[in-house]
Structure 1
Amino acid sequence: MEKMIEYILRFGNLNKQQIDFIESKATVLELRKDEYFSEAGKVPKYAGFILEGVFRFCYYNNKGTEVTHFFVDENNFVNDYQKFTDRATASEYVQAVTDAKLLVFSRKDWEDIANTIIDWDKIETKILNKCLTEAIERRSPLISEDATTRYLSFIEKFPALVNRIPLSYIASYLGITQQSLSRIRKNIR
C-alpha cells in the first residue's frame, strides 16, 4: 500500500484522511502467470496498482497473430483506462507475464475516490499523461530502428524485465519472429 501512496503523491498532495480513504477502497488481487487482468471482448473490471509482477498489453492483428505492444511492471498502475472509465468493451488483453499481486479498485470504488477527493481528477490526469508519454517514448524508436537496435534499446529501457519475460513476448513487442530474436541475441553475445 505504501508504494502506491508514494506513487500517487508524486502527482499531487493528499492529507491523511484522503490517503486512508484511498487505502480503504483497495483490495488485493493475485494472478498466476498467463491469467488475464482484462480481456478483449469484455468490459474491464478494475484499475490496478502492481505490487509484484509484470503485465503485457496485447491483441490479435487481422492475420490472427498475437502482438504485444506494452509491458508494465511493479509500482505502476495497470488497466485499459479509457475502456474502464467508459464502461466499454476492451479490444486488447492485459495479461500477467509472471505471477502477480496487485491492489485493485472496482469502478465504483474508483468513482467514489473521484467524487470524494478534491482535485483527484488532476492527480488522475497527471498519472494518465505520464503513462501515455512513457508508452509513446517506448514505442516511437521501434518504428525506425533495425531489429538489433530495437533489441538493444529494449535491454537498455527494460533491464529488469529482460530475464522475466518470455522471448516470444519480447519478439512480438519488437515486431520480429522469435527465431530472429534468437539470432540477434546469439550475435551480440
Structure 2
Amino acid sequence: MERLINYLLQFGNLNQQQIELIKSKVDFKEIKKEEYYQEAGKIPDEVIFLTKGIMRICYFNHKGDEITKYFIDENNFLVDINSYTQEIPSTEYIQSVTDCKYLVLSKNAMKELSSIIIEWDKIVSKITSKALAEKVNRISPMMTEDAKERYLKFLTNFPNLANRVPLSYLASYLGITQSSLSRIRKNI
C-alpha cells in the first residue's frame, strides 16, 4: 500500500486524511502466471497498481498472430485508458507474465476520490500524461531501428525485465521471430 501512496505523492500533495481515504478504497488481489487479467471485448471497470510481477498488453492481428504491445512492471498503474474512459469494449488483452500482486481502485472508488479530494483529478491527469509519454517513447524508436538496436535499447531501458520475460513475448514485442532474437542474444 505504501508503494501506491508514495507513487501518488510524486504527482501531488495529499494530507493524512486523504491518504487514509485512498487506502480505504483499495482492494488487494493476486493473479497467477499466464492468466488473463483482462480480455478483449470487455469494458474495464477498475484501475490497478501493480505491486509485484509483470503484465503484458497484447492483441491478435488480422492473421491471428498474438502481438505484444508492451510490458508493465511493478509500481505502475495499468488500465486500457481508452476503453475505461469511453466505456467501450477493449481490443487488447492483459496477461500476467509472472505471478502478480496488485491493488485495485474500482471506477466507483475513482469517482468518489475525485469528488472528495480536490487534487485527485490533477494527480490522475499527471499520471496519465506520464504513462502516455512513456508509451510513445517506447514505440516511436521501434519503427526506425533494426532488430539488434531494438533489443539493445530494450536492455538499456528495461534491464529488470530482460530476464523475467519469456523470449517468445520479448520477440513479439520487438517485432522479430524468436529464432532471430536468439541469434541476436548469442552474438552480443
State TM-score, norm by structure 2. Answer: 0.97
- Per-residue CA shift, 1:143-184, capped at 9, x if unaligned? 100101110111111100111000011000000011110111
Asked if 1 retains the 8 angstrom alpha-carbon contact of 2:48 and 2:102, the reply is yes
Write the letter of the residue equivalent to 1:62.
H
Cross-structure match for 2:68: 68
List alignment gaps of at least 5 residues for structure 2. Answer: none
Aligned residue runs from structure 1 range 102-113, under 5 A: 102-113=102-113
**How far 1:106 moved relative to its partner?**
1.3
Aligned residue runs from structure 1 range 1-189, under 5 A: 1-188=1-188
Write the letter of the residue equivalent to 1:169.
Y
State TM-score, norm by structure 1. Answer: 0.97
C-alpha separation in 1, matches of 2:136 and 2:12: 23
Asked if 2 retains the 8 angstrom alpha-carbon contact of 1:85 and 1:107, the reply is no
Instruction: Give the number of equivalent residue pairs.
Output: 188
- Per-residue CA shift, 1:123-143, capped at 9, x if unaligned? 101000000111111111111
Superposition misfits of 4+ residues, deviation over 4 angstroms: none
Write the letter of the residue equivalent to 2:102.
L
- Per-residue CA shift, 1:109-136, capped at 9, x if unaligned? 1111112111211110100000011111
C-alpha separation in 2, matches of 1:106 and 1:88: 16
SS in 2 for 1:169: helix
Asked if 1 retains the 8 angstrom alpha-carbon contact of 2:50 and 2:102, the reply is yes
**How far 1:107 moved relative to its partner?**
1.2
List alignment gaps of at least 5 residues for structure 1. Answer: none
**How far 1:102 moved relative to its partner?**
0.2
C-alpha separation in 1, matches of 2:56 and 2:146: 23
C-alpha separation in 2, matches of 1:29 and 1:83: 21
**How far 1:45 moved relative to its partner?**
2.9
